[in-house]
Structure 1
Amino acid sequence: MQVYKVGGAVRDRLLGLPVTDVDRVVVGASTEEMLAKGFRPVGADFPVFLDPKTGEEYALARTERKSGRGYGGFTFYASPEVTLEEDLIRRDLTINAMAEDDQLNLTDPYHGQRDLEARILRHVSPAFAEDPLRVLRVARFAARYAGLGFTVADETMDLMRQLSESGELQALTAERSWKEISRALMEDRPQVFIQVLRDCGALKELMPEVDALFGVPQPETHHPEIDTGLHTLSVLEQSSLHKQPLTVRWACLLHDLGKGLTPEEEWPRHIAHEHTGLKLIKAVNERFKAPKDCQELALLVGQYHTHGHRALELKASTLLELLQSFDVYRRPQRFEEFIAACEMDARGRKGLEQRSYPQADYLRGAAKAAREVAVQPLLEQGLKGPELGEALKRERLKALKAYKEAATA
């Protein structure tokens, strides 16, 4: 019985990066032996055990065979006869198919260290094409390591294209897809994830609404980059540079979907794209079963981001409606995330990445003015129910008018 660290722990140590997750493979052991040593079994698909003292995971070396469609369409075989090399060959990329023992002796049958040094993401074997989830995983690794100069090998891209064209991506569950998408959006260069998916044809299969934005022009006055797809990538890039949370990054990705529906004869203008895009944002949200906070913010940003840009021009009554839509009195954080998404949108334009965004502080000030309207005096007047609501609305409108007048004087 031999134990090896495998996958990301080995890869990141060799890259000189912090090692967070450690996967271990046990060679030469059976389920019965692991149980006899006190290990606790977990996982229904293949034999994984928890160390009774440390809680760390140990997986028996195994092979796999394609038996159906999608990520779950595999039959696994684990036994003491399965070698380390047989276990490693079923992995996705060569840089993830290395192992080391406790003395840091490296086992690298598929030249992962060579590809690490060459900064190449390359598949281990043709079996790569049996698992559609690997398209998303490779794009995610490309986003994570783009800053180190990593690119996807041409032959791996070819296999990713084959998978994208095969219809296998449609067999992925919403949960598995969202797990990869959400992790990729939180990488250092999330825009690379979207670009790689587009390059291999996966984006039009998974998010045709986003793919449709590429090649759609916008007015050069506001968008020097012109192309809506490129603008979306830039907004996503800004969201990462400014360390935005997942909710904001998801909203940044989907905020302009309505522009993909504009008839060509109306280009480069996109009248009412904020409203036409809502059904598309809703469809993408539901397709991947995005968390509720991500869904809500994406829809609100899609509908109101141009309000954010025109904040200083808005009438007090429109400003009040905007604040009411976000329920800023009970959910101030959501409005703060909306402001962040608007700022990323403004900065995600060629040559305008460093420009100031005074709308942000103006909107924060407006929210503060509305929130500071006291309810107690109205209650003391005996108001309640709808009457109280209307009176509160009038007082908030009065406060916003005063705020606007002072702020724009």
Structure 2
Amino acid sequence: MSASAQPSGDPDCDGLQVYIVGGAVRDALLGLPAGDRDWVVVGATPEDMARRGFIPVGGDFPVFLHPRTKEEYALARTERKSGRGYKGFTFHTGADVTLEQDLLRRDLTVNAIARTPQGQLLDPLDGSADIRARVLRHVGEAFAEDPVRILRLGRFAARFGDFTVAPETLALCRRMVDAGEADALVPERVWKELSRGLMAAAPSRMLDVLAQSGALARVMPELQGVPGVGIDLDRAARAGLALPGRYALLCRQTPERDAMSRRLRVPTECADQARLLPQVVDGVGAGQPPAQLALIESCDALRKPDRFAALLQAAAVVTGVDLPAWQRRVDAVRGVDAGAIARLCAGDPARIKPALQQARLAALAGPAG
């Protein structure tokens, strides 16, 4: 590999060895739309970058924002395991770190390909061959030093549904779990990877990887032995559900859904939909106005109609709910003028609540309901 800098077409990078790395290169080889580009700089120091106007933003290791494009440029680095879990690393950056050394610290071979600004591929780990073969394979034994990589492997399996996981990579994940590495994962990192996996095309594959590696029992024990979750999630993906609905379906059949949401520190909207979805699934078959109104009110659909509509869409993944009919029911109940009823009952406030209830039941029993 050439150690000399080549013209990049970018005056701010002239004289630097810069390479596009990771996902942008992988996705281009797969013919997928280009996302954000990550750059690695070889043979430079933080002082070199600062003199060129790059803005330092890195914490543990030097990362800079390009002065004009604001793309991220990281100095090539190596890392060494120095403790337990995903934070237990010591990083080394320096002008002596090569591109090959930087690529060797990455997780999967398909993510360890570099490209020059002129388009030349640099692929010392033969990741392009694994892309052609549709295989997710770990770069080396250093994969075992970071338990987050088990989650990332699952996420990539969910995103790239036609890729298989190399048997030796899955075996390495099992050894990591047996060694207790997965126990060091913190909720924020689990949720970050889980949420991205849930939004992939085939979320069931992430659960499969976690189950086969033994990590599911460590990071989401509430889902152990729960049947049919993957099928529901893949249906949700095909239906284009948003993240809260997909998470609610993930938790639907476990009675420990609230505890799981608290433990993983999931966003409030996700936790709320997970809590409410089981009663929506159980209640959408109600044929009589009293039961219909009870469901609408218990889900706070009058104040939060958009959330209730999202819950109905999630319920539709596992039931034969008539979405237009339920939308008409919610609209009919919301159309009742509570203020007018309160004014009519001004002389007897105790009558307001039952009068409002009767008006809402009448709206549900009418043509719109």
Same fold (TM over 0.5): yes
Following the alignment from structure 1 to structure 2, what is the Cα–Cα distance between the partners of residues 22 and 88? 16
**1:136 aligned onto 2:151:** yes
Q: Secondary structure of 1:376's match?
A: helix
Letter of the 1:92 counterpart: D
Check whether the contact 2:312–2:321 (CA below 8 A) recurs between aligned residues.
no
**1:376 Cα shift?**
3.4
Q: Give percent identity, aligned residues only.
A: 45
RMSD: 1.6
Check whether the contact 1:132–1:168 (CA below 8 A) recurs between aligned residues.
yes
Structure 1 residues 400 and 176, CA, compared in 2 at 3 Å: closer, same or farther?
Answer: same
Following the alignment from structure 2 to structure 1, what is the Cα–Cα distance between the partners of residues 310 and 349? 31
Letter of the 1:13 counterpart: A
**1:326 Cα shift?**
1.5
**1:381 aligned onto 2:344:** yes
Aligned to 2:96: 81
**1:386 Cα shift?**
6.4
**1:345 Cα shift?**
1.2
Aligned to 2:108: 93
Letter of the 1:94 counterpart: T
Q: Stretches of 4+ moved more than 4 A in 1?
A: 384-387
Aligned to 1:305: 281
Following the alignment from structure 1 to structure 2, what is the Cα–Cα distance between the partners of residues 121 and 387? 66
Check whether the contact 1:9–1:21 (CA below 8 A) recurs between aligned residues.
yes
Q: Secondary structure of 2:177's match?
A: helix
1:125-204 superposed matches below 5 A: 125-146=140-161, 149-204=162-217
Match of 1:335 among 296, 305, 308: 308
Q: Secondary structure of 2:318's match?
A: helix
Letter of the 2:281 counterpart: H
**1:232 aligned onto 2:229:** yes
**1:56 Cα shift?**
1.2
User: How big is each residue's C-alpha offset from its partner over 1:122-158, in whole Å with a ceiling of 9 and x where there is no partner?
Assistant: 0001000010000000011011111xx2110000000
User: How big is each residue's C-alpha offset from its partner over 1:204-252, in whole Å with a ceiling of 9 and x where there is no partner?
Assistant: 1111221221xxxxxxxxxxxxxxx2x2211111100010100110011
Gaps of 5+ in 1: 214-228, 258-276, 347-356
Q: Secondary structure of 1:285's match?
A: helix
**1:293 aligned onto 2:256:** no
Q: Which moved more, 1:359-368 or 1:135-144?
A: 359-368
More helix by share: 1
**1:46 Cα shift?**
0.8
Match of 1:205 among 200, 218, 222: 218
Q: Secondary structure of 1:311's match?
A: coil
Check whether the contact 1:311–1:359 (CA below 8 A) recurs between aligned residues.
no
**1:311 Cα shift?**
2.8
**1:385 Cα shift?**
6.7
Check whether the contact 1:63–1:82 (CA below 8 A) recurs between aligned residues.
yes
Aligned to 2:362: 398
User: How big is each residue's C-alpha offset from its partner over 1:227-284, in whole Å with a ceiling of 9 and x where there is no partner?
Assistant: xx2x221111110001010011001111111xxxxxxxxxxxxxxxxxxx2xx00111
Following the alignment from structure 1 to structure 2, what is the Cα–Cα distance between the partners of residues 116 and 34? 33
Q: Secondary structure of 2:91's match?
A: strand
**1:323 aligned onto 2:320:** no
Match of 2:73 among 58, 73, 81: 58
1:243-262 superposed matches below 5 A: 243-257=240-254
**1:361 Cα shift?**
2.5
Structure 1 residues 386 and 156, CA, compared in 2 at 3 Å: closer, same or farther?
Answer: farther
**1:55 Cα shift?**
1.1
Structure 1 residues 386 and 127, CA, compared in 2 at 3 Å: closer, same or farther?
Answer: farther
**1:167 Cα shift?**
2.1
Structure 1 residues 377 and 150, CA, compared in 2 at 3 Å: closer, same or farther?
Answer: same
Following the alignment from structure 2 to structure 1, what is the Cα–Cα distance between the partners of residues 321 and 269? 26
Q: Secondary structure of 1:301's match?
A: helix
Letter of the 2:252 counterpart: H
Match of 1:70 among 71, 85, 91: 85
Following the alignment from structure 2 to structure 1, what is the Cα–Cα distance between the partners of residues 351 and 207? 50
Following the alignment from structure 2 to structure 1, what is the Cα–Cα distance between the partners of residues 353 and 147? 53
**1:368 Cα shift?**
1.5
User: How big is each residue's C-alpha offset from its partner over 1:331-376, in whole Å with a ceiling of 9 and x where there is no partner?
Assistant: 1011111111111013xxxxxxxxxx35323322221221111123
Gaps of 5+ in 2: 1-15
Aligned to 2:331: 368
Q: TM-score, normalization: structure 1?
A: 0.83
Q: TM-score, normalization: structure 2?
A: 0.92
Q: Secondary structure of 1:26's match?
A: strand
Structure 1 residues 327 and 55, CA, compared in 2 at 3 Å: closer, same or farther?
Answer: same
**1:169 Cα shift?**
1.5
Letter of the 1:366 counterpart: R
Structure 1 residues 157 and 385, CA, compared in 2 at 3 Å: closer, same or farther?
Answer: farther
Aligned to 1:281: 257
Following the alignment from structure 1 to structure 2, what is the Cα–Cα distance between the partners of residues 43 and 390? 61
Letter of the 1:377 counterpart: A
Following the alignment from structure 1 to structure 2, what is the Cα–Cα distance between the partners of residues 299 and 109? 49
